[in-house]
């Protein structure tokens, strides 16, 4: 079998007249051979008073090529023809011409159905009616199963277009009379006043009325104001094919009908139609348009009609990819009983793509099964410009695919491989795993084991005699390696790679393995999945189709009754032994929990505790009788840290667990009234896996004990002062008298940090005269104090250095020390002239300076100190 390839711009006897080549499908055998079509140059023949001229330069012979038995049909749609009579002529126009070559005899027949013998005045007389001078016959072509040629002539009747049909035998009969003879034809008639429709732009043949006579499909891409249409004609009529129905495009300028194809896609015995629109534009969510191309599938129904809307639409994915530029039936390339289709997109990817779609009962599988990429490296190979299929060129029983790459000047041949259909099975003995039945030995220790048996059968049309499969067995495949529960006994590994060789005449092979169950594992509920993956070891001549993965599962036997399904009944109660949380206190919160199971075993049972903010788990209560030392730890779930405690695997029926859990509490300053703990028991059982949800509330309170102390420095003043006399008209502070300083200490004994406000009232007058003269604002530590500025140094006696005077350390007095010192002072001898009774100066009877002090965020054990410094006005004191 050879591949026939058209080369429409090859140089022959005329400039770029075109050629047709016969190429071996295996390019290593021999080079392509040029077929012996008419290679003569332009012709000029005189007949009676007519001069007949054939122009073959740039005629594009081989633009369309079709074969039928020993015949090869090659068309040149740009073949030009002219008739001259006296001073008038028909003009040199592209009527189109097809050459039919008989490969057995070597005879060639020229078939140019639009070629006429009239000149321009004849066409003028008819006002252009039946004017076929621009036919471009052979622009598209097909051959029916009974040997009739169908040509598309989209330029006929002033580009209204026309389809023409004639038998191969009648065309060959005029081989010796190329200009004058006529043959019996079927051709569509001219429709009055309709132009520029391009009927025949693409053609195909099939049976659309169940009369066993081949009917015709022809596209009109500029019909319906350029929305396009496809017309179906009844081929049973002898001269003018009868119009049956049309399929209509919906988008202007999408070139609906650029390619048409006919095949039985869904294997119902009725031919279906595919129509492409490679310039179709889809609207994106942004309302922008993107040219992607579409292919429409029309399925012939049981009454031999087509829906006005396509039954299926395939859409391209590459912008400007020209998806649907070519649509080609491939036959049943995988022998599944449904015909398959190739769609060319010569503008897609890097150089063009071809998409393979598989037929099925409801149409084409909407997801292509294969993408063929251009193997050529030329700048613009346009791979997929032309596609042909449906012929088995390598005689392996499967139809193959030929893809043309016009820009690369090459053709790629893709041979379909034999399809091996496989079916695999996995079985286990025993069906369920018994951890307590330890019938095998591993390192001299008894273990629980089971047998795995795998079987693979192969079938297919003309598959190789021996099928070699690369296989992989995976045990407990849904688990990571560190958590797998079953291993192969001979290797202690969870997987095995091996080969299986299956003879075609036997068709099936089985193999067994022994596996074991590990002694300790956590997950006892979920099934143990065992998988078998396999692929062909040699993919040169065959390929796998269908199943290549088998997954089986087995289960661990549980103490859950006959159905092996455990249904627990979990109950949770909890309370706080800590009644109140004090802000700033470091005592932890203690929760007491009781977990019970009143049903069947609960597996992988855990207590989940959702904590208040800034709360951390500390540990368990260990010195309480009957309490369990739970294993708990933090875990992140949905972005939140929770505490999870293990309760048992399984937590058995009627089991009761009590425990105490400590938590350190932080951030209580931001809490309004209370904190909440949310608790729930969860298991991995499939039914009724969780307990009730419990909410534990602990109230939060702010409590602080504040202590206030005060002392004076000096504790008393002895008058008169040696070597000093008071001044009647003081000019500075030293003229007033000695320094008197009061010190006050505020202490927060906790536990809560507080915002404290302290008000100090300092007496300054006695009987309306200053006795204590305050000359500076109160100094402070950890406080911020303020007062009326007019009360400070009202007579401007202070000098700048007094504001930074260095004072001796303040002695902190307790009550007993103050009383003792008072007694000692009373015993001292005072000058007689100054002795007077006790004078009490306080803010209830005299004017005072008020200092308002604020201590923000006074923490536990922090001390805030206020110092008030004044001068004793001695002269006023004596009054």
Q: How confident is the model at residue 27 (pLDDT cuts 50, 70, 90)?
A: low
Region 73-102: what's the mean pLDDT?
Answer: 95
The CATH code that applies to domain 1-118+131-175 is 2.130.10.130
Cβ count near 623 (within 10 Å):
6
Region 90-118: what's the mean pLDDT?
Answer: 94
Query: What is the helix (H) or strand (E) element at residue 289, kind and residue range?
Result: strand 289-291
Q: Are 46 and 6 in contact (CB under 8 A)?
A: no
Region 754-776: what's the mean pLDDT?
Answer: 88
Region 286-295: what's the mean pLDDT?
Answer: 95
Q: What SS3 string covers 438-500?
A: CCEEECCEEEEEEEEEEEEEEECCCCCCEEEEEEEEEECCCCCHHHCCEEECCCCCCEEEEEE
**What is residue 558's predicted lDDT score, i.e. its pLDDT?**
79
Query: Identical fold at 419-556 and 571-701?
Result: yes
Give 426-446 pLDDT, tens digit per residue: 999 998 888 889 999 999 999
**What is residue 19's predicted lDDT score, i.e. its pLDDT?**
94
**What is residue 180's predicted lDDT score, i.e. its pLDDT?**
57
Give 620-662 pLDDT, tens digit per residue: 998 888 899 899 999 888 888 899 999 988 898 899 999 999 9
**What is residue 501's predicted lDDT score, i.e. its pLDDT?**
96
**What is residue 257's predicted lDDT score, i.e. its pLDDT?**
98
Rounded to an integer, what distance in angstroms lies between the CA atom of residue 571 and that of residue 596? 5
Residue 825 pLDDT exceeds 60: no
Residue 775 pLDDT exceeds 80: yes
Region 91-117: what's the mean pLDDT?
Answer: 94
| Diameter over CA atoms, the chain | 174
Question: 705-878 is classed in which CATH architecture?
Answer: Sandwich (2.60)
Domain boundaries, the chain: 1-118+131-175, 419-556, 571-701, 705-878
**What is residue 824's predicted lDDT score, i.e. its pLDDT?**
40
pTM: 0.67
Give 723-741 pLDDT, tens digit per residue: 888 888 888 988 888 999 9
Residue 178 pLDDT exceeds 70: no
The CATH fold assigned to 571-701 is Immunoglobulin-like (2.60.40)
What does DSSP assign to residue 522?
Answer: S
Residue 256 pLDDT exceeds 80: yes
**What is residue 725's predicted lDDT score, i.e. its pLDDT?**
84
**Mean pLDDT over the full length of the chain:** 89
Region 140-161: what's the mean pLDDT?
Answer: 96
Q: Which of 84, 75, 34 is nearest to 54 (CA)?
A: 84
Q: How confident is the model at residue 829 (pLDDT cuts 50, 70, 90)?
A: very low
**What is residue 821's predicted lDDT score, i.e. its pLDDT?**
39
Give 332-346 pLDDT, tens digit per residue: 999 999 999 999 999
Give 777-812 pLDDT, tens digit per residue: 777 778 888 898 888 999 888 865 444 433 344 444
Residue 387 pLDDT exceeds 80: yes
Rounded to an integer, what distance in angstroms lies between the CA atom of residue 766 and that of residue 499? 115
Region 851-877: what's the mean pLDDT?
Answer: 88
Q: How confident is the model at residue 176 (pLDDT cuts 50, 70, 90)?
A: low
Give 529-575 pLDDT, tens digit per residue: 999 999 999 888 899 987 799 999 998 887 777 777 889 999 999 99
* 419-556 is classed CATH 3.10.450.50: no
Residue 203 pLDDT exceeds 90: yes
Task: Kindly list the distances between the CA atom of residue 775 and the CA atoms of 417, 762, 772, 798, in Å, as whole numbers in the listed order.
Answer: 110, 12, 9, 6
**What is residue 13's predicted lDDT score, i.e. its pLDDT?**
65
CA torsion 523-525-529-530 (nearest 10°) is: 80
Residue 816 pLDDT exceeds 70: no
Burial call 391-412: b when 16+ CB within 10 Å, e when fewer: eebeebebbbbbbbbbbbebbb
What does DSSP assign to residue 714?
Answer: S
Residue 81 C-beta-side C-alpha neighbours within 13 Å: 26
Region 196-211: what's the mean pLDDT?
Answer: 96
């Amino acid at each position: 079998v050879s591949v026939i390839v058209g080369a429409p711009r090859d140089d022959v006897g005329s400039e770029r007249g075109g050629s047709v080549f016969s190429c071996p499908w295996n390019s290593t055998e021999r080079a392509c051979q040029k077929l012996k079509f008419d290679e003569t140059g332009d012709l000029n023949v005189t007949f009676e008073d007519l001069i007949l001229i054939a122009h073959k330069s740039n005629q594009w012979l081989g633009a369309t090529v079709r074969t039928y038995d020993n015949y090869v049909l090659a068309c040149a749609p740009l073949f030009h023809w002219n008739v001259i009579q006296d001073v008038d002529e028909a003009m040199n126009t592209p009527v189109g011409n097809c050459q039919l070559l008989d490969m057995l005899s070597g005879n060639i027949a020229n078939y140019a159905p639009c070629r006429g013998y009239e000149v321009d005045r004849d066409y003028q007389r008819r006002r252009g009616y039946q004017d076929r001078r621009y036919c471009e016959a052979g622009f598209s072509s097909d051959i029916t199963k009974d040997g009739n040629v169908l040509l598309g002539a989209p330029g006929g009747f002033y580009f209204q277009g026309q389809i023409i049909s004639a038998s191969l035998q009648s065309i060959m009969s005029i081989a010796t009379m190329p200009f004058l003879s006529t043959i019996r034809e079927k051709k569509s008639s001219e429709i009055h006043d309709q132009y520029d429709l391009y009927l025949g732009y693409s053609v195909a043949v099939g049976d659309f009325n169940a009369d066993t006579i081949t009917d015709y499909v022809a596209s009109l891409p500029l019909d319906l104001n350029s929305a396009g249409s496809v017309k179906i004609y009844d081929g049973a009529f002898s001269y003018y094919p009868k119009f049956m129905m049309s399929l209509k495009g919906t988008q202007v300028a999408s070139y609906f009908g650029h390619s048409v194809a006919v095949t039985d896609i869904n294997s119902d015995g009725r031919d279906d139609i595919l129509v492409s629109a490679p310039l179709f534009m889809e609207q994106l969510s942004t309302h922008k348009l993107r040219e992607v191309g579409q292919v429409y599938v029309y399925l012939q129904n049981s009454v031999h009609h087509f829906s006005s809307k396509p039954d299926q639409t395939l859409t391209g994915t590459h912008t400007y990819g020209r998806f649907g530029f070519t649509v080609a039936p491939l036959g049943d390339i995988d022998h599944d009983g449904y015909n398959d289709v190739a769609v060319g997109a010569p503008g897609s990817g890097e150089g063009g793509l071809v998409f393979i779609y598989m037929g099925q009962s409801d149409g084409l599988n909407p997801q292509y099964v294969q993408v063929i990429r251009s193997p050529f490296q030329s700048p613009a190979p346009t791979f997929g410009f032309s596609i042909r299929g449906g012929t088995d060129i390598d005689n392996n029983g499967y139809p193959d695919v030929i893809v043309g790459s016009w820009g690369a000047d090459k053709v790629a041949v893709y041979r379909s491989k034999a399809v091996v259909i496989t079916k695999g099975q996995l079985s286990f003995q025993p069906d369920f795993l018994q951890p307590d039945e330890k019938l095998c030995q591993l390192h001299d220790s008894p273990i629980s084991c089971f047998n795995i048996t795998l079987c693979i059968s192969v079938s297919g049309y003309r598959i190789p005699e021996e099928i070699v499969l690369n296989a992989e067995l995976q045990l407990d495949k849904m688990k990571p390696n560190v958590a797998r529960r079953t291993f192969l006994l001979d290797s202690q590994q969870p997987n095995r790679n091996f080969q299986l060789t299956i003879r075609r005449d036997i068709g099936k092979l089985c193999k067994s393995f022994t596996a074991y169950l590990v002694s300790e594992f956590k997950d006892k509920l979920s099934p143990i999945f065992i998988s078998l993956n396999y692929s062909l070891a040699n993919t040169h001549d065959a390929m796998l189709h269908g199943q290549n993965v088998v997954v089986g599962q087995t289960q661990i036997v549980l103490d859950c009754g006959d159905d092996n399904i455990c249904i627990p009944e979990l109950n949770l109660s909890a309370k706080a032994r800590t009644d109140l949380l004090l802000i700033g206190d470091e005592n932890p919160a203690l929760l007491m929990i009781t977990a019970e199971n009143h049903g069947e075993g609960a597996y992988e049972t855990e207590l989940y505790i959702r904590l208040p903010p800034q709360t951390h788990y500390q540990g368990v209560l260990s010195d309480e009788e009957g309490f369990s030392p739970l294993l708990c730890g933090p875990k992140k779930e949905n972005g939140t840290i929770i505490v999870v405690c293990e309760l048992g695997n399984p937590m058995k029926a009627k089991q009761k667990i009590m425990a105490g859990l400590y938590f350190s509490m932080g951030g209580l300053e931001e809490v309004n009234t209370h904190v909440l703990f949310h608790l729930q028991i969860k298991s991995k059982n499939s039914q009724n896996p969780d307990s009730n949800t419990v909410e534990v509330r602990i109230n939060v309170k702010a409590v602080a004990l504040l202590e206030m102390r005060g002392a004076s420095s000096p504790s008393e003043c002895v008058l008169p002062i040696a070597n000093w006399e008071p001044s009647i008209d003081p000019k500075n502070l030293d003229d007033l008298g000695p320094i008197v300083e009061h010190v006050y200490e505020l202490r927060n004994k906790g536990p809560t940090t507080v915002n404290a406000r302290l008000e100090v009232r300092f007496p300054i007058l006695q009987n309306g005269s200053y006795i204590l003269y305050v000359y500076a604002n109160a100094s402070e530590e950890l406080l911020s104090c303020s007062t009326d500025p007019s009360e400070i140094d009202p007579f401007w006696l202070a000098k700048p250095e007094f504001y930074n005077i260095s004072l001796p350390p303040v002695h902190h007095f307790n009550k007993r020390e103050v009383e003792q010192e008072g007694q000692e002072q009373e015993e001292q001898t005072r000058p007689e002239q100054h002795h007077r009774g006790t004078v009490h100066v306080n803010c209830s009877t005299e004017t005072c300076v008020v200092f308002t002090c604020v201590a923000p965020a006074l923490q536990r054990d922090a001390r805030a100190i206020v110092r008030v410094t004044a001068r004793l006005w001695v002269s006023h004191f004596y009054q």
